[in-house]
C-alpha cells in the first residue's frame, strides 16, 4: 500500500503575472496564503493551470522554490515537472526535487507521443531522476496520448510512482485502473465535475481548477465523502458544476485567470498563445461567480 501524497482537494494554482508577463511572486505568495487559510489540502505549482508550458526552466524552478518556501511544510507542494523530452524531464525532475517539492506531477509526452512501452520507460527514467514520489498525469485531450490501465498497473509497481491524475474523463477507464492497481496507485480526479465519482472508486482526491476560486467548496466536498456523508458530498459536487462549466468555457487557464482578476486578485493576463476570454464568456464567468456568492458587493 502506498500512502497518498495528499488526500482531498489540491489546488492547481494559477501563476499571477505582471503586465510585462513576468511572474508576480508577491501576489503568488498572497494566493498561496489564502489557499492554505481556506483549507486547501495541497498546492500544485507549475501545472497546466500555472502556465508551465510557456515558462523557462529557470522561471519554473523559481516558482517551485518560492512555493516550497512559502508553504513551509504546512501542506504538500507538488511540482509540475513533465516533458516530452525524457532527458529534459529527468533534469527538471531532479532540479524540482532539489527545490524541496514533496512530489512531482508528470504529464505524458505530448506531440511526439510514444507507445505504452515508451511510457513505462519515460516515466521510470524521470521518477528515478527525481527520487521523490510521482503522480502521473493522464490528459489525452491535451497530449493526444492515453495511459492504458495495464500501463498504469506496470508503472504502479515502481516504488516512486505513487499516483495518477486522471483527466481522461473516462470513468470506465478509471474504474479499470482502480481494479487493477488497488492501493498501489492513488487516483486523483483531474476533472472538477468528476470528484465524487472518482472518490467512489477509491480515489484520494482531486487536483482542482475550481479550488482557485472556491477552495472551501472543493475541500468540503472531499471531506464530506471521507466522513461518510455521501449525500452532502454529492450536493457539493452538484453545487460545483456551474463554476466548473464557467471555468472551462474556454481552454484552461484562460477562464480561471480572468475569474481571479474579477475576484480582486492581481492575476494578470495569460501568456500567449492564450488570450482574454470573449465578452460572452466573461459574462458567463462573472455570472457563475455571482451565483456562487464569491463576488463581494
Phi-psi category of residue 8: left, alpha or beta, with phi > 0 → left and psi -120 to 50 → alpha: left
Q: Determine if the peptide bond prior to 253 is cis (ω within 30°).
A: yes
64 neighbors 32 (Cβ within 8 angstroms): no
Give dist(CA 218, CA 18) in Å, integer: 28
How is residue 99 written as a grid cell?
Answer: 527545490
Residue 49 counted as an annotated binding residue: yes
Residue where the block lists cell 466548473:
244
What is the three-class DSSP state of 81? Answer: coil
118 neighbors 145 (Cβ within 8 angstroms): no
What backbone phi and psi angles, to 5 degrees, belong to 220? -65, -35
Residue 207 counted as an annotated binding residue: yes
276 neighbors 254 (Cβ within 8 angstroms): yes
What is the three-class DSSP state of 155? Answer: helix
Q: Strands 205-208 and 186-189: what pairing?
A: parallel
Residue from 2, 111, 157, 165 carrying the catalytic annotation: 165
Residue from 65, 95, 137, 204 carrying the catalytic annotation: 137
Q: Tell me if residue 165 is catalytic.
A: yes
Show binding-site residues for pyruvate: 49, 207
Binding-site positions read 49, 207
Catalytic annotation, residues: 137, 165
Amino acid at each position: 500500500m502506498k500512502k497518498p501524497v495528499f488526500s482531498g482537494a489540491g489546488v492547481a494554482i494559477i501563476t499571477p503575472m505582471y503586465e510585462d508577463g513576468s511572474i508576480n511572486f508577491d501576489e503568488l505568495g498572497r494566493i498561496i496564503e489564502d489557499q492554505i487559510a481556506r483549507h486547501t489540502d495541497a498546492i500544485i505549482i507549475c501545472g497546466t493551470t500555472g502556465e508551465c508550458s510557456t515558462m523557462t526552466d529557470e522561471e519554473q524552478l523559481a516558482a517551485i522554490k518560492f512555493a516550497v518556501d512559502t508553504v513551509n511544510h504546512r501542506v504538500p507542494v507538488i511540482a509540475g515537472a513533465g516533458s516530452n523530452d525524457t532527458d529534459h524531464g529527468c533534469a527538471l525532475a531532479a532540479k524540482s526535487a532539489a527545490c524541496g517539492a514533496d512530489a512531482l506531477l508528470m504529464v505524458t509526452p505530448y506531440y511526439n507521443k510514444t507507445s505504452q512501452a515508451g511510457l513505462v520507460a519515460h516515466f521510470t527514467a524521470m521518477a528515478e531522476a527525481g527520487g521523490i514520489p510521482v503522480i502521473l498525469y493522464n490528459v489525452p485531450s491535451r497530449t493526444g496520448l492515453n495511459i492504458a490501465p495495464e500501463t498504469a498497473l506496470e508503472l504502479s509497481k515502481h516504488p516512486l510512482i505513487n499516483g495518477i491524475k486522471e483527466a481522461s474523463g473516462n470513468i470506465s477507464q478509471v474504474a479499470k485502473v482502480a481494479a487493477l492497481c488497488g492501493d498501489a496507485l492513488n487516483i486523483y480526479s483531474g476533472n472538477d465535475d468528476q470528484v465524487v465519482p472518482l472518490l467512489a472508486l477509491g480515489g484520494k482526491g482531486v487536483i482542482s481548477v475550481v479550488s482557485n476560486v472556491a477552495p472551501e467548496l472543493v475541500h468540503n466536498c472531499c471531506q464530506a465523502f471521507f466522513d461518510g456523508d455521501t449525500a452532502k458530498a454529492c450536493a457539493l459536487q452538484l453545487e460545483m458544476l456551474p463554476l466548473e462549466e464557467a471555468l472551462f468555457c474556454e481552454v484552461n487557464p484562460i477562464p480561471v485567470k480572468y475569474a481571479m482578476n474579477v475576484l480582486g486578485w492581481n492575476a494578470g493576463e495569460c501568456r500567449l498563445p492564450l488570450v482574454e476570454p470573449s465578452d460572452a464568456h466573461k459574462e458567463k464567468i462573472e455570472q457563475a461567480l455571482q451565483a456562487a456568492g464569491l463576488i463581494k458587493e
